Structure 1
Amino acid sequence: MAISGSQSSLREANRALIVDTIKKFGGLTQVELVAATGLSPATISTIVKELLGGGIVDTQSTTRSGRRAQMVTLARRVGLVAGVQFGHRHLKVALGDFGRTVVAEQTMPLPVDHRSDTGLDRAALLVVELLERVGAPIDELLTIGLTVPAPVDVSTGEISVHGIMRGWDGQQLGQVLSERLARPVVVDNDANAAALAEHELGAGRGYQDVVFVRMSYSTGAGIMLGGHLHRGFAGTAGEIGHVQVDPRGDICRCGNRGCLDTVVSSTALLDLLRGSHGDLTLRDLVSRALAGDLGCRRVLADAGERIGGVVATLAGTLNPQLVVVGGELAAAGEVIVEPLRQAVLRHVAPNTVAPLEVVPGELGEQAEVTGALLLALRATDVASDYETISAPPDDPSSPERTDRTASATLPAPAPERDTT
């Protein structure tokens, strides 16, 4: 009996390991599962067949190194997660599955200094609308990832520095949204979420130590150390927008004087151009710079240099392998990235063994909401026992859910890069 029990426990542990590994990477072939789990090919094959029969995984044909293979992903019936991203002037919501496929998304403009109560109400409504769009009941939604442009204490879901988002202080944001949708919610800073997304799916794939710099209406950084998010105590790690760069400068929202955000925020940059260019938006600034407007290019180049000087101090302290640059301003490409790169490399100690790289992000405006989805996926426990989630098939008279909306598959993570 003891032997039988041990064998059963081992089988359950192996099943859970395979499911967790598929969840982590979004989808793997059986050969890749062998490498990722250390289990034998025979064990992988047997358990994948069991999970496939129980409706926990799906398989589809793919090609690896010129050879046909079967990609194993978690089945859609396992459930969906939602990503909610609040920007300074917009709200973006996306639904995704465990294959890391975005099945629906929507963006809504928001007024400046929008408040938490109305913002979270709108987010809840958008989540419900997207579920209806793909024909999924609320029960199919498992977890929600929520990001905001402010430091967050992830243990409470509260913004940890008051004044940065007016009307949001003192609110347990995850609890508030959870009460509206009756689903668990994880909350984090948007730069942290974007750092996670770029690390797993974008420019940071294969690197262990990455700093993501988010240049937008304000400036922040997400830090990956040893492949894990480093948030610091109460979530204030990476708040480079509140590093002092001018002791006699303007008062910042955080209450200090001369923070980086007082000279490179959207308000500061657009104010520089108001006399010569009139009232512009951040998007106008970027598009005109790309079109060759010298004034707009100068403003962005100077901003990149100022940000790069602060990032250099962070890089000198943490010694990352890679700095990834993203956010709305990064859409200007090398107009702003090159001055930032030169400022960073000018001020960090030259490492001849592993030179620091500074590169643009690959996920663009999708980085933050993609990170919110990844946070939700990470926080979701997936049953590995097929009897736990087996259910009768859907009503044959209802249309197939996956055909009800266009889907975009996120790239799979790459193997670790040899940086020696």
Structure 2
Amino acid sequence: MTSGHLSERRSVKPGSQASLRRSNQQRIVRSLLQSGSLTQAELSRQTGLSTATVSNIVKAMVDRGLLATSPTTSSGRRALAVSLTGDDTLAAGIDIGRSHVRVVVTSINYRVVGERWVHLPLGHEADLALDVASTVLDEVLAECGSSRDALIGVGLGVPGPIDRRSHAVIDGTILPEWVGITVDHIQERLRMPVMLENDANLGAIAEITWGPHKGVDDLVFVKVGTGIGSGLILGGEIFPGNIGVSGEIGHLPIHEHGLICRCGNRGCLETVASTAIMIELLSREPQNVRTTSDIIALAQAGDKATLHVIDDAGRALGRALAAIANLVNPQMLVLGGPLAGLGEILLEPVRKGFVRYSSPVVHDSTELTMSSFTDRAEALGGAAIVIQEFEAVGFET
């Protein structure tokens, strides 16, 4: 199977034959995702399409290697069972962080088939990270007994804003070496179709796609790491804002006379609650913290200084979340990132700050929880956007 170009949606006029064909294809794919193998007659009943339409679409998709058919019987009669190629068709999610690359490979029916995390040096150049990601992707595929021929594309997340006009990483990322890097450059380096997205947006998508929060239409995912960003799901869709830079919660002002932030302003949330500031505060003896894993271990061991730093950070996060919730009134707030393993140790002070600064009706009607994916959400979200794009436009003939 050959991969399509996923970074640019093809323009289809509403009401056109191409639009109708795409809509019909989506109905068939979604029925198969929900029910598994179905006969063509069952597909016709479930989708409301005529048997002739189903037969024509199934034939075209089988010819392209997207569906498989096999003889079966239905009500005593011979029939054709139709199924997605499933594990033979794969999607990849890649999460690039300040000091890591995580690669996840999944089937198009949302089953994780391979995964790996590798360290990156601080201050890495974009091309180095992409070369590492490319190598790791090949290694994970090989471990799955597959190759790039099975991949329909890659969803890649970076910790910073993506300008949707230029499809480029812009100033504001915690990876200054990535500023100006475009999706076209990434595709050339990875030699694959790529969808480029902010990592917090991918985390939000993972929560409503893979996790226990499927079907939640209004959700805010907050990734707490070296930087702090949020992905907003409103009405069941990512809310990108005017040019794609919504959710920059890390630069909400918390302390008027606080530290100077990397954005140039003073007292931003990142100067109080990021993992970078926590590590800096706890880097001296006796804590001697160097990584987020050190923070988690010390907190779970009851270290007073570490718990105090987490408490300050959590209350500041809660205050920022209250500002968002008061504005957009989400059903759910989800905290993710490398500190998600702290669970209630972090969630309790966040809850206190949230209750203190949100209106009563908002905090009473908003669920505040920790991500069940720890630091895997962003890569899972990357795979999800590829699958969803595949469902939407990947079957046009």
Band of TM-score, shorter chain? 0.7 to 0.9
> Structure 1 residues 127, 38: closer, same or farther in 2, change over 3 A?
same
Aligned residue number for residue 357 of structure 1? 367
- Residue 39 of structure 1 and its aligned partner are, at CA, apart by 2.7
TM-score (norm 1): 0.76
CA contact (8 A) 2:93 2:383 kept: yes
Taking the aligned partners of 1:350 and 1:72, their CA distance within structure 2 comes to 52
Aligned residue number for residue 97 of structure 2? 87
Q: What secondary structure is seen at the aligned counterpart in 2 of 1:346?
A: helix
Q: Does 1:166 align with 2:176?
A: yes
Aligned residue number for residue 238 of structure 2? 229
Taking the aligned partners of 2:196 and 2:18, their CA distance within structure 1 comes to 34
Give the % identical residues.
Answer: 32
Aligned residue number for residue 187 of structure 2? 178
Matched AA of 1:205: K
Q: Give the 5 Å matches for 1:5-404.
A: 15-21=24-30, 26-28=33-35, 39-40=47-48, 56-57=66-67, 74-76=84-86, 79-162=89-172, 164-172=174-182, 174-273=183-282, 274-351=284-361, 355-380=365-390, 381-383=393-395
Taking the aligned partners of 1:135 and 1:184, their CA distance within structure 2 comes to 21
> Structure 1 residues 235, 40: closer, same or farther in 2, change over 3 A?
closer
CA contact (8 A) 2:87 2:108 kept: no
CA contact (8 A) 1:242 1:260 kept: yes
> Structure 1 residues 21, 302: closer, same or farther in 2, change over 3 A?
same
Query: Can you list the C-alpha shifts for 1:136-194, whole angstroms capped at 9, x where unaligned?
Result: 3433222111101111124433123246312111111x212211343221111111000
Larger mean Cα displacement after TM superposition, 117-126 or 130-139: 130-139
TM-score (norm 2): 0.80
> Structure 1 residues 131, 280: closer, same or farther in 2, change over 3 A?
closer
Query: Can you list the C-alpha shifts for 1:102-139, whole angstroms capped at 9, x where unaligned?
Result: 22222110111211121111112222233333333433
Taking the aligned partners of 2:262 and 2:83, their CA distance within structure 1 comes to 45
Alignment RMSD (CA, Å): 3.4
Taking the aligned partners of 1:379 and 1:213, their CA distance within structure 2 comes to 24
> Structure 1 residues 53, 261: closer, same or farther in 2, change over 3 A?
closer
Matched AA of 1:39: T
Gaps of 5+ in 2: 1-16, 70-80
Aligned residues between the structures: 363
Q: What secondary structure is seen at the aligned counterpart in 1 of 2:118?
A: strand
Larger mean Cα displacement after TM superposition, 76-85 or 315-324: 76-85
Gaps of 5+ in 1: 1-7, 60-70, 386-420
Taking the aligned partners of 1:72 and 1:299, their CA distance within structure 2 comes to 56
- Residue 85 of structure 1 and its aligned partner are, at CA, apart by 0.5
> Structure 1 residues 130, 48: closer, same or farther in 2, change over 3 A?
farther
- Residue 214 of structure 1 and its aligned partner are, at CA, apart by 1.1
